[in-house]
Amino acid sequence: AARWAATRDTRVSIEQQQLALRHLDLAPAGPELQGLRIAARAGLIRIALFTPVPEAEVERAYAEGRQMAAASRNLAGTAELLISYGNEQLHRGHADAAIALHAEAVRLCLAEGELELVQRFRLAILLSHFSAGRLREGIALVDAADAGRWRQEAIGEDNFVSRGFHALMLAWMGQLPQAQRQLQAVLDYASREARNASWMHAFKVDLAWFSGDYREALGHAELAVDRAQATGGPYFQAIAGRALGLALSFQGQHQQAMALLENLRPITAPGGLAHQFEANHCAALALVHRRAGFFESAREYAERGIASAQGSQSRIWEIYAWLMLLELPQEALAAERAAEGLARIAVLIDEAGA
Q: If residue 272 lies in a helix (H) or strand (E), which one and from where to where? A: none
pLDDT tens digits, one per residue of 267-324: 999 888 888 899 999 999 999 999 999 999 999 999 999 999 999 999 999 999 999 9
pLDDT tens column, 151-200? 999 999 999 999 999 999 999 999 999 999 999 999 999 999 988 789 99
Torsion of CA 162, 320, 225, 253, to 10 degrees: -150
pLDDT cut 90: percent of the chain above it:
74
Distance of alpha carbon 171 from alpha carbon 123, whole angstroms: 16
Taking the C-alpha atoms of residue 117 and residue 320, their distance in angstroms, rounded to an integer, is: 32
Give per-residue pLDDT as tens, 60-98: 999 999 999 999 999 999 999 999 999 999 999 999 999
Please state, as a whole number, how many other Cβ atoms lie within 10 Å of the Cβ of residue 206: 24
Closest CA to 97 of 314, 259, 247: 314
Show the beta-strand stretches assigned E in the chain.
Answer: none
User: What pLDDT does 6 receive?
Assistant: 47
Query: Over pLDDT 70: what percentage of the chain?
Result: 90
Closest listed residue to residue 319, CA positions, set 180, 140, 191, 132: 132
| Nearest-10 crossing angle of helices 160-172, 122-131 | 20
